Chain A
């Protein structure tokens, strides 16, 4: 009973927030500049991404705990964690390369938010949308991996060195399967633009039902690669807590650690949103074809946002499931699995796609 009351309370707060934001948009809908600013900062911009990342954090931890017969954190816990980290002292040890050490966590946040900007949230296009932005996303992910390695190198600590080199090795391992798994739907939909893929994939499948088989393979492969990108068990030898005490982030404290953690959460939000958009139809589902008429514009957008959140949560559920069921594997085993087993699966999926499409 108490849980339902709490849930209703949060539902009420969120609806109020949504109404306020919608009111802002409606108020300023004549001024183009104001709408752009609101879009960038509030919805679906930075504020929505921050709230989404924190929600994903809670969802992931609560699910993880519940699957282990524990209770798990309460709803506002991620906010408290972030505030606590910001309040801690920020120590820079002697002997590190000061410039890289201080700036890379902030760079990671910036890159993750850029990834999240490309995700289509309430309409088919994200805030950033152009032809070939799928490759742009892959490039940003590679940059994030490189920044982790640089941070591990800049820190004057053998544990960080091990963590950074492991991160670079695993980056080399998972990057190609990730690219292949995202390029599969691109081939089917016929374009490298995320908005086109998310709108066109289900139509393409509707035309030719045999495409379901490579789609499923690509979906599974993308979930596995996403787990490796986000450094979650079973693919997190770079950040292994018990063995090398946090690897590349061992010397980060205070706001730098906050930036790193936050970047990881935003990246999770972004990648899960991307996978949901590309594979699961993103905001709209298969046949939802809303024609906004007058005052019903805003309500139409509300339904799409809710659908998007549900689908992202489903993808996060799958990633958390992988985290619950497995233990951590070693770095050489990770490279072996990715190059020997997952990469051929990706090739098979792409070949099947090409054969079926033509």
Chain B
């Protein structure tokens, strides 16, 4: 590991034997990030992190598109929390136009329904992958099999399984009809039944629990110091759920609880998320049964006067916050996104010190990293800038030539 060539990553400290790079490519990362662990035996002493592999230039791209076009760009920040980003953007743009309070009730409730369904889908994915990280492949396959039900529900409502595109400035795009509600309600009941089964198995399987109890704890004081957000803070005993603290419109009228545990470790973060899945099923049922009548969208102006708006949403991973600044035209002046993972990385580095090498995948998994949302600002990758002009065949022959000549650098 030639660490001196990388900018800013220091040499191996005295007390450590060697460094492990859990690099951009690793079976436990779903997205690339480069961790360098300085290890002694099996215990980690120092941690360093290099981000920037998934950096696409989205914030600059927002500034050159209209508000309507930005709806679809905001969705594609991340595959799993696509809905949360769109929700947050729509609210921020509405605050800029001073139309935030005038969104109809039916639209508010449909927005909440989609957000909760996405929460179910994201959490089921998360605890399946957590089971896979610790070697429990059976529960990985079973939870992902059961996740198909919520994907089917979302497909019924919106037509898509991944990026639902249901939101628009001023309301939602599609309505939910009575026949759809009758079809969806038994499916949501089935989701709840199966989630109860997952909860029972995952919380009582001893070989799985023993990998997570008392591993890498994050105390409440540290969680507040490092400004963490999301379920990891709720596992430390602090209520920071945006749905209760700074609620988007509509949440005030729905009765629900927030699960809070005191254990501070991975096991309690898992329990928080499982309870949230069950509560999300309840919220969805309540919304579907009590959907108020009315319009689904209001008219939204094309040009927005100079204003600024900040909005927050409880994404499945934590607190998602968008800041939109308008300048009188139909394109935003500045759009800043802070995805929940960025806020949690600092506390993650603190947690990893003192953990064991075998605990690295579950501990990185506990913040539910979504590096795709995490890195957005302006950046043009010189490699992708060049390879845009090459076809697939060119790339393959270039790679073969490099391998034969045993060199890293080739002319074009």
Contacts and interface: CB of A to CB of B under 8 A. Distances in A.
Nearest to A241: B27
B205 A326 contact: yes
A70 interface: yes
The residue among A234, A326, A333 with the most chain B CB atoms within 10 A of its own CB is: A326
B183 interface: no
Given A162-B42, A329-B210, A242 B135 contact: yes
A164 to B, nearest CB: 13
Interface stretch (B169-177, B189-197, B232-240, B356-364): B356-364
Contacts of B20: 158-159, 162
Interface in A24-73: 67-70
Given A241-B27, A243-B28, A326-B205, A331 B42 contact: yes
A210 to B, nearest CB: 31
A328 B135 contact: yes
B361 A243 contact: yes
B229 interface: no
Contacts of A245: 26-27
Given A240-B135, A243-B28, A69 B142 contact: yes
Interface string B128-143: 0001111111110110
Given A158-B18, A327-B205, A328-B135, A242 B142 contact: no
Contacts of B42: 162, 331-332
A327 B135 contact: yes
Interface in A175-234: 233-234
A93 to B, nearest CB: 13
Contacts of A159: 20
Interface string A78-107: 000000000000000000000000000000
A327 B18 contact: no
Contact of A242 (B141, B145, B356, B361): B361
Contacts of B211: 327-330, 333
A70 B134 contact: no
A268 interface: no
A123 interface: no
Contacts of A240: 135, 358
A237 interface: yes
B89 to A, nearest CB: 35
Interface string B1-32: 00000000000000000111000001110000
Contacts of B135: 233-234, 236, 240, 242, 326-328
A244 interface: yes
A328 B358 CA distance: 10
Given A158-B18, A242-B361, A330-B356, A324 B138 contact: yes
Contacts of B28: 242-243
A327 B358 contact: no
B154 to A, nearest CB: 22
Interface string A278-304: 000000000000000000000000000
B49 to A, nearest CB: 18
B360 A327 contact: no
B76 to A, nearest CB: 28
B141 A69 contact: yes
A332 B138 CA distance: 23
Interface in A316-349: 324-333
Interface residues of A, number: 28
Contact of B207 (A68, A242, A326, A331): A326
Contacts of A324: 137-138
Contacts of B138: 67-68, 324-325
A333 B361 contact: no
B35 interface: no
Interface in A250-280: none
B208 interface: yes
Contact of B133 (A67, A68, A242): A242
The residue among B131, B133, B137 with the most chain A CB atoms within 10 A of its own CB is: B137
Interface string A122-165: 00000000000000000000000000000000000011011000
Contacts of A331: 42, 358
Contacts of A68: 137-138, 141-142
Nearest to B209: A327
Contacts of A70: 141
B23 to A, nearest CB: 10
A332 B215 CA distance: 13
Contacts of A330: 211, 356, 358-359
A45 B390 CA distance: 56
Interface string B197-216: 00000000101101100000
A327 B131 CA distance: 8
Contacts of B357: 162, 243-244
A328 B205 CA distance: 11
B134 A328 contact: yes
Contacts of B207: 234, 326-329
Contacts of B145: 69
B213 to A, nearest CB: 11
Nearest to A162: B357
Interface in B105-138: 131-138
A237 B360 CA distance: 13
Contact of A327 (B19, B134, B359): B134
A184 B20 CA distance: 44
The residue among B20, B131, B132, B205 with the most chain A CB atoms within 10 A of its own CB is: B20
Nearest to A244: B357
Interface string B352-374: 00001111110000000000000
A161 B20 CA distance: 11
A333 B359 CA distance: 12
A240 B133 CA distance: 10
Contact of B136 (A161, A162, A327): A327
Contacts of A325: 138, 205
Nearest to A67: B138
The residue among B20, B131, B356, B357 with the most chain A CB atoms within 10 A of its own CB is: B357
B9 to A, nearest CB: 16
A329 B362 CA distance: 12
Q: Which 9 A-B pairs have the closest CB atoms?
A: A328-B135, A327-B136, A68-B141, A326-B207, A327-B208, A330-B358, A327-B134, A327-B135, A327-B207
18 contacts: A68-B137, A69-B142, A70-B141, A233-B135, A240-B135, A240-B358, A243-B28, A243-B358, A245-B26, A324-B138, A326-B135, A327-B135, A327-B139, A327-B208, A328-B135, A329-B211, A330-B359, A331-B42
